[in-house]
Chain A
Amino acid sequence: MRHLLLRIALALFLLLTSLGTIVALLWAPTAASGQAARPEAPARRSETPAGRSETPVGTLTVAVATFGNERWLPHLYVGAEDVVLKPLWENLLSRDGKGNLIPMLAEKWQVADGGRTWKFHLRKGVRFHNGTEVTAEDVRFTFASIAREGSANSMAPEFRMIKSMEVEGSHTITVRFDKPFVTLGNRVTQGLFASVAYIQSKKHIEAGEDGAERRPVGTGPWKFVEHVHGDHIVYEAVENHWRATPHFKRLVFLKVPEPATRMAMLRAGSADVIEIGGEYVDELKKVGMRTLTMPNTAAIWVILGGQWPTKPTYDPKVPWAQPDAERARKVRVALNLAVDKKAIIERVLGGVGTAVGTVNYYPTDPWISDALLKPIPYDPARAKVLLTEAGYPNGFEVTMNLTAWPGRGFLPDVGEAVATYWEKIGLKVKRRPVDRAVFSADFRARSYAGVALAYAGPIIAPEPWELFARIAQTKSAVHLLVEHPRLDAFIERLGAEPSAAERTRIMREEMGPWLYEYMPAVSIGATHSIAGIGPKVGEWPLIPGHMGVHNWEYVTRK
C-alpha cells in the first residue's frame, strides 16, 4: 500500500512538473491570463535598419529604471514619470535648442498686467488620438484637474494660484492670477523635466476616469498601445502627426531596475536606449557603445539642516546655524573648503559634471558669471583654521543622512565622500542610511537640525529662484536649503519682475553673489544625465537642461 501511494505521488509529481513545463513554454509567448505579452525584445543583436524613410519603421526599445507612479490622469501623476509619459502628451509651449520658449499646442501667447494675465491662442486642427479636437475647454479642464484638492501633481500649488480662467471661442483661454506669475510659461512647457501640465482630453476623462487610466489619449506623436504595470509601456507612432512624425513605428519602455542588466541589454541589442549613471560611462566606451549626454541637468549640493531660525524646531547649538551669524558662516565656509568637489565629480559621478561655486547655478546659465561659477577651492588646512576661529578646534559631531532619490541613486555616494572629507578636518560624522519616505516627513517638519545630506535638484524650472520658491522660501512647504529674509526678498522680487532681462541681472548681480557669499550649503556642482544608446539610434536633438531622455519623436534611425 505504501509503495503504491509512493508510486502515485511520484507519478503525479512528475506528470505535473512535465505538464507545467510544457504549459509554461507554450504559455510564455502569449503571456498569461489578464496580462498582455511583454513585447518581445530581440534575442540577438538587432540588425541596423535601413536608411530613413517617411513611414515610421522598427521598434525603439528603451530600458529605464522606474516608471514612477504609473498613473495617467493629470491629478495623479507627480512628475517623476516624465520619461515614459512625455511621448504621449504635449504642453501648450516648448523650448528650443537654446532654451527659449516656443509654441506647441498654443501657437501664440500674450502676457499682460505684469504677469497676472496669460492669454493662450491654441493651434487649430490638432486632435487627440481619439479624434476629438483640442479646445480651450480641454486646457481649462486640465489646469483645474492639476489644481484640484488632493492632487499629486507637482504643479498643483502653482496652479491653485489661478484666480480665473476665461474661455473665448473654442481656441483661446485667458488665465488670471491675483499676483504676478511671470514664469507660467515655464510651467506649461514641454521642454523641462517633470513638466506635467500636459493637455488632456476633457471628454475622454469625463467619460470615465477608470477608462482614461487604462486607455489614455493625448495629442503627442506617440499613441498609447499597452501598459502592464511595472513591466512595460508600448506606444505606436502617429503617422502624419501635426508636429513630428516619429522615425520609429513603436516605442517600447521596459522597466529594468538593475543597471547592470540594462547595460547587458544594450550590449546584447535587447534595448536600444538605456538610462544609466555616470559611473557606467567608461564601461560603455570600453565596449564600444555610445552615450547620449544631456549636460547640466541637476545641481548637487549638501544640505546643512537647521537653517530655519523662525521655526520651533530651530536648534541654536547647530554649528552652521547658530545665532552668531559670523561664526556660523565660518563653519559653513570650512565645510565647503574641506571638500574636493572636482574629485567627487571625477570619481563618484564618473566625470559627468562640472564643479560650480554657487548653489543651483549652472555653467550655461545666462545669469552665471566667472565669479559665481568658480568652485570653492579644496583647502582643508584653511578649513581647520576657520573651524578653530568659529570655536570648534576639535570639530563637532554631525549626522550625514545617506538618502537616495529617484533617478539620483548616486546621492548616498556623494554624501559618503563628503563625510570622509569632513572627517579629515576633525568632524565626527555619523552615517545614517535613511529611506526617502522616512526623511520626507523631516523635510516638512523641519526636524533635521544638525543633519546633513546630499541632494540634487533637477531643473524643473530654468531660473534658480523658481526652485528656491518651492524648497527654500520661509513659507515653502518643505525646506531643502536655507530660510533667510534676503532669499525670501529675492524670490518675491524676481517673482514679480516681468522683464526677463531684469531678472537675469538680479540673479547675476544680486542673488548669485549673495548665495556665493552666504554659502548656505556645500555646493558640489552641476551633473549631467546620461543615456547609453545602441547602433539603431541615429541623431538625437535635445533640449538644453532637460533631465532624462526626451524628444523621442525626433530620434532618427541609423
Chain B
Amino acid sequence: MWRYLTGRVLQTVLSMLVVISIVFFLTRLSGNPVHLLLDVNATERDQQILMHHLGLDKPLPVQYGIYVTNIFLGDLGNSVLTRRPVVEHIWERLPATVELGLVGMVLSVLIGVPLGMYSAVHRGSALDTGARVFAVLGQSMPAFWLGLMLILFFGVVLGVLPAGGRGGPLHLILPAFTLGYFTSAAIMRLTRSAMLEVLGSDYIKFARLKGLHEQVVLWKHGLKNALLPVVTFAVMLFVQFLGGAVVTETVFAWPGLGRLILESITTRDYPIVQAGVLVLSALYLTGNLLVDLLYSYLNPRIRHARS
C-alpha cells in the first residue's frame, strides 16, 4: 500500500510540474504583457524598464528556473497588471468560486440522485422517460444559453431574481442552477445505471425475499451501493467546478477564479494564469489521488491488482 501511495504521490507531483511547465511556456508564446500595460506611444525605454521590473528581460530558461524555485519557496509572484501578490488575487476570488461550486454541486446531487434512482426503479414509466428527457436537455444545452435564458425569464420577465453579480443568497440561485443542471443530468444517468445494476443483484433479491420494506431495500441496500461511483463523480465535479465555471461566471458576472484566469489570459498576466492553473491542477490532481486511494482502500481487488 505504501509503495502504491508513494508512487501515486510522485505521479501527482510530476503531473503538476508538467502542467505548470506547459502553462509557463504557452503563456509566453501568447504575447508580451508590456504591450498591453503601456500605452501604444510608450517609448522603447519605458518598455525596457517595465520588462526589467517584471523580470521578462531575462532569458526564458532563467525565468523558468526562478519561477519553479519560487513555487517551492511558496512565492507565486506578483500580478503583472496590478503588481499585487498573486496569492491575494487568488484568495480574493476563491471564496466566490467555492461558494458557487458547492451550491452547484449540492443542487446537482439533490436533483440528479433522486431522479436517477426513481428513474431506475420505475424503468420504462413516464417518469423514467421524463427524467431521460431532462438528462438529454441538461447535457445538450450550452451553459451560456441556459444562463441567459434563466436571466431573461427570472431576472427580466418575472423580476424575482437578480440578473447578475454576487450578493445575497438570491444571487446564487441562477448561476448555481446553470452550473448544476448540466452535471445533475450526468449524475442522474450515472445513478440510474448504477441503480439498475444494483437492483438486479442477488443481495437485493435476497433482501426482498427476506420481506424487507421496499423503501428499506431501495434506500438502504440499493442506493448506498449504487452511490460509490456517484460520490466519486461528485467529488471530481466539485473540483472541476472550481476552475471550469468560466462560462457561468462570465454570464452571471460572478467574480470567481475561472473568470480571473480568463481575464488574466486576455491581459497576459502570466503570474496569475500560472498560479491559477497551479491551484486548480493541484486541487484536481489531489482530488484524483484521494479518490484513487479511497477506491484502492475500499476495493481490495483494485489494490491487489495494482500491487
Residues of A that sit less than 8 Å from B by CB = 2-3, 5-7, 9-10, 13, 17-18, 20-21, 23-25, 27-29, 31-35, 37-45, 63, 69-71, 76, 78-79, 149-154, 156-157, 228-232, 254-258, 260-261, 264-265, 267-270, 435-438, 440-441, 443-444, 470-471, 476-478, 480
Contact = CB atoms under 8 A, between A and B. Distances in A.
A478 B294 CA distance: 59
B92 A35 contact: yes
Nearest to A267: B156
Contacts of A13: 231, 234-235
B169 interface: yes
Interface in B87-105: 88-89, 91-96, 98-99, 102-103, 105
Contact of A6 (B102, B152, B298): B298
Interface in B255-272: 255, 259-260, 263, 266, 268
A268 B231 contact: no
Given A6-B227, A436-B36, 12 more contacts: A3-B224, A27-B99, A29-B169, A78-B38, A151-B46, A157-B41, A257-B250, A261-B151, A261-B164, A437-B33, A440-B32, A476-B41
Nearest to A158: B41
Contacts of A444: 35, 44
A43 B170 contact: yes
Nearest to B105: A17
B297 to A, nearest CB: 8
Given A228-B92, A254-B165, A152 B39 contact: yes
B228 interface: yes
Interface in B77-95: 81-84, 88-89, 91-95
B106 A17 contact: yes
30 contacts: A7-B224, A10-B224, A10-B227, A13-B235, A27-B95, A32-B96, A32-B99, A35-B91, A35-B92, A35-B95, A40-B171, A43-B168, A44-B159, A44-B160, A63-B164, A149-B49, A150-B46, A152-B46, A228-B255, A230-B259, A230-B263, A254-B165, A258-B250, A261-B163, A261-B253, A268-B155, A436-B36, A437-B35, A477-B43, A480-B40
B25 to A, nearest CB: 16
Interface centre among A154, A231, A443 (most CB of B within 10 A): A231
Given A32-B95, A435-B30, A437-B268, A25 B35 contact: no
Nearest to B107: A21
Given A28-B169, A256-B253, A17 B102 contact: yes
Interface centre among A21, A45, A69 (most CB of B within 10 A): A21
A228 B106 CA distance: 28
Interface of B: 30-33, 35-46, 49-50, 53, 81-84, 88-89, 91-96, 98-99, 102-103, 105-106, 109, 148, 151-152, 155-156, 159-172, 224-225, 227-228, 231, 234-235, 250-253, 255, 259-260, 263, 266, 268, 294, 297-299
A29 B252 contact: no
B228 A34 contact: no
B165 A38 contact: yes
Contacts of A152: 37-39, 42, 46, 50
Given A150-B49, A267-B156, A20 B39 contact: no
Given A6-B298, A69-B81, A230-B260, A156 B156 contact: no
The list of the 8 closest CB pairs from A to B, nearest first, reads A32-B95, A437-B31, A440-B35, A154-B39, A150-B49, A231-B255, A40-B167, A20-B102
A183 B183 CA distance: 60
Contacts of B164: 41, 63, 254, 256, 261, 264-265, 270
B225 to A, nearest CB: 7
A2 B298 contact: yes
A264 B148 contact: yes
A48 B8 CA distance: 61
Nearest to B168: A29
A270 B30 contact: no
A256 B165 contact: yes
A270 B106 contact: no
A545 to B, nearest CB: 19
Contacts of B299: 2
B227 to A, nearest CB: 6
B198 to A, nearest CB: 12
